[in-house]
Every structure is written in structure tokens, then in C-alpha cells.
Structure 1
Amino acid sequence: MSSCLPALHCPLCHAPDHALFHQDRRRYHRCARCRLIFVEPGQRLAQAAEKAEYDLHQNDAHDAGYRRFLSRLAEPLAARLAPGSEGLDFGCGPGPALAAMLNEAGFMVTTYDPYYADYPGRLQRQYDFVTCTEAIEHFYHPGREWQQLLAMLRPGGWLGLMTKLARDQAAFASWHYKQDPTHVCFFSRDTFMWLAERDGLGIEFIGADVILLHKPESL
């Protein structure tokens, strides 16, 4: 554990053992247990500044290019779902294109976002699938939010994620993904493998940035 920051714990698995992984305008630590890379809490944006950054995003639900991007998750997920499955798009943002695409494909999808679709009641029930695209890297409390995502899955349900995966230190140093000030935690393949093993989930990596996790019927 870093001797100068004895109180700093991993926000995902809460382990105290970590090391400074990279430093530029922010300081990034990597957990020795789950391998999550995370920004020091004091270097996260305040809520108003975070919302202002999100308001700059141009994610039009009707944009063909954006839909092609999201299809990298939508298509493999849809292939694994029963017709008429119910789902929640968690962190949908101001333009919930993925929910629209899956609804058009015959599924029943609702949305949740703390800034743009803040309906807490939708988090109190279970679904056949939950999606979270380009949102998990924004979580200030990923351990808590990960458990929330799993709790919303029915037995046999699917969790579909999109996020860029962190690699080694050399790649991280020049990685554009960390330059977004709202990106505060960075998952690697090792991190998702660790979570899947801990929580008894099936896992599939599809392409460079799509992760599908399956909750067993027995959970």
C-alpha cells in the first residue's frame, strides 16, 4: 500500500493495497487485488461540473454512426435474449439510443440515469438484462454500483457492458480515454475476470470493448 495515502482504498473491492500507476494532471492508482485503476477521490469533478461535461455530449438516438457504435453490444446481447425480454439501460444519458434500438428489436427496455432519467423506482425491481454503455468508467463508487447492477438481474439474466479496457502502464500513459475528466475508474480484462470469479458469473469478451456477463439461474 502507498505509505503516503494509508486511508485510500479501492473503490471497487475496498482493498487497501494499491500503488501509484500513473501521474499527469491527475494521480491514478491500481488496486493490487482487483486491478482496477482509479483516480484519487479529491481529483474527481464536483457534481455540477460533471453534469456540465455530460451536457456537451452529442449522443443523438437517431444518429446512424452512434447506432453502429452501440450495435457492437446490442447485436450480441440480443442474440442471447429470449423474445420479449425486459431490460434496463443504466446510465442512458440524454440520448437513450440503445434503449430505442432494443425496443425496436422487440424487447421491453426502460432507462435510468442519475442526471437525465432519475427514476429511482426503476432500480428497485429485477430485469432479464441490464445494459451499461460507456458509463461504468464514470462511477465514483463502482463497488456499490456493481452490486446494484447485479441485484437488478433476474436469475439467468445478462449484464451487457461497453467500456474501453485498460492495458499496461506504457499504453495507459498515452491513452486518450483517461483524458476525459469524468472518467475516474478504468477496468481491465483482469478486473472483469476477477469480478466474474468472485460473483460466480459467466463472462464473454466481444471485440475490444464489449463485456457480457451471465448470472446463473441458481443465484
Structure 2
Amino acid sequence: MQCTLCSEHSELYCADRKRSYYRCLTCDLVFADPDSLIAEADEKAIYDFHENDPYDERYRQFLSQLSEPLLTKLKKGMRGLDFGCGPGPTLNLMLEEQGMQVELYDLYYYPDKAKLQQRYDFVTASEVVEHFAHPARSWQQLFSLIKPASWLAVMTSLNELKTTASFKNWNYKNDPTHVSFYSRQTINWLAERYQADYEIVNGRVILFRC
């Protein structure tokens, strides 16, 4: 199986009752069998059930894992894009409250492709990259959105599991819309691919700068 990120050779990693997973021998991405991907209409139906309330303090606390370290890198007035903001945009409000300007893009809910033809001082992707069915194309798009010496802030649950048994029991991979899983090795591969510096904050937030 060809890796969906780096196009190198991957091998069958494990399988559960619903789908098989492959692991790349080069970039260490673990990805669901492409033949098991659900239709876009079914994917959106799942997202429609998400109850992301901009005024829910618990949700804001969750997003602060990304916003707080990112804000230490930014200056007031900078302009960014919340990529994959979902049906209840909240991260943009949190950043705007701190003096930033934030545009929105989401494939299903804010599908203004003109926002993807611009470049920004920062781009955020919170709980987005695990949904990438075509990660090579999607990561290239993310990095193309930032200006030189600007920031790409990503939040996802990193795969730090050491055994296939642990992966099979990992609840994060059970969401049928989660199809790409990244280890620290994968993040390092991405940084090298896009000539970016990076830091990992709290084990789940990655700040790229290139």
C-alpha cells in the first residue's frame, strides 16, 4: 500500500471490526484503508451532530490548549485563518478577543474558496488533520496558506502508542471520520518536507514556523 502522505511503502499495521490500518515505513503515518472511507454526505452528517458552543467554557478551555501558546507568538492586529472551523466557530472568537483578525474556512460550513487563495500571518487547524483523507494534498495546502516566517498551529491527538494492541484499543481512532494518525516521527517528517521549525506543546499542539 502506498502511503497517503509521503507516497512511500506502507504495510498492514492492524485491523478492527470496521477497517484496516496501514503504517508507513518512512514517515510513520498510520492511516485507514482508503477503501473504507465514508462518503462526504455521511461525514457531514456526523459533523452536524457536533455541539460546539462558542460560549461553552469547557469547549473554550479545550481550545485554549492551542490558542494560548499560539498567542505568545503573535502580535495584535495579525490576520489569520481558522481552517476547518466546523459548524460552531469558536477559536476565531477567542483569538479576536485578543486583538487578532481571523477569517473562516470549512469544507462544509464555510466553503469560501477565495479564503484559500490568500496568505496569512497564522493558520489554525484544531482537530482537523486527523480527518485528512488525502494528507499529502491537504498538508501542502495548509503550508501554502502562511506567509514566510509565519505560524501554522495544529491540534490533534498524537499517536504515541507503542504496540498494535494499544492502537486497536485507542478510542481516538474509532471515529469513522478520523483516518490519519500522526506520531512525533511524522511531525518531524512534515517539518523537514516543508523546511519548518516546530515545537510540540502539551503533547497535542504543534506550532510550525517556516
2:97 maps to 104
User: Sequence identity, in percent?
Assistant: 49
* TM-score relative to the length of structure 1: 0.92
What is the aligned counterpart of 1:189 among 177, 180, 184? 184
User: How many Å apart are 1:174 and its aligned residue?
Assistant: 0.8
The amino acid that maps onto 2:179 is V
User: How many Å apart are 1:14 and its aligned residue?
Assistant: 1.4
Find out whether 1:137 has 2:127 as its counterpart: no
2:53 maps to 60
User: How many Å apart are 1:170 and its aligned residue?
Assistant: 3.2
2:13 maps to 21
Find out whether 1:160 has 2:153 as its counterpart: yes
User: How many Å apart are 1:173 and its aligned residue?
Assistant: 1.7
Task: State the alpha-carbon separation in 1 of the partners of residues 112 and 78 from structure 2.
Answer: 21
Report how many aligned residue pairs link the two structures: 207
Task: State the alpha-carbon separation in 2 of the partners of residues 83 and 99 from structure 1.
Answer: 14
User: How many Å apart are 1:171 and its aligned residue?
Assistant: 2.3
The amino acid that maps onto 1:102 is L
What aligned pairs does 1:177-216 form with structure 2 within 5 A after superposition?
177-215=172-210
1:4 maps to none
Structure 2 residue ranges without an equivalent (≥5)? none
User: How many Å apart are 1:150 and its aligned residue?
Assistant: 0.6
The amino acid that maps onto 1:194 is W
Runs of 4+, deviation exceeding 3 Å: none
1:33 maps to 26
User: How many Å apart are 1:42 and its aligned residue?
Assistant: 1.1
The amino acid that maps onto 2:134 is H
What aligned pairs does 1:77-116 form with structure 2 within 5 A after superposition?
77-116=70-109
What is the aligned counterpart of 1:119 among 112, 124, 130? 112
* TM-score relative to the length of structure 2: 0.96
